[in-house]
Amino acid sequence: MAIPRPDKPRKHPERFDACRMAIEDELIELVGRACDAGWHRDEVLAATAELTDTLALARREDVAISIELHVAQLMKKRNF
């Protein structure tokens, strides 16, 4: 399914809601495919939230994404 192109200018007050609606079906499909593969829904939703947070941080020039990834790797090692 193709994600529709924006139909409102960047600063339009309804653009955020339009974007959310545009990607919602794809996200639901992704969560469903991950669950079908054997991942628990809570894991998938938590991973999705963490990934979106990391992507948002990566867009900020003052945040070094390599540090974020290194901390995540250290946390994973600690949990083993």
Q: Which domain holds residue 67?
A: 15-79
Q: Is the pLDDT of residue 69 over 90?
A: no
- pLDDT above 90 covers a percentage of the chain that reads 60
Distance CA 5, CA 21 (A): 11
Q: DSSP labels for 13-79?
A: TTHHHHHHHHHHHHHHHHHHHHHHTT--HHHHHHHHHHHHHHHHHHTSTTS-HHHHHHHHHHHHHHH
If you average pLDDT over residues 17-46, what whole number do you get? 96
Q: Is the pLDDT of residue 79 over 90?
A: no
pLDDT of residue 74: 80
Number of domains in the chain: 1
The reply to whether 56 falls in a domain is yes
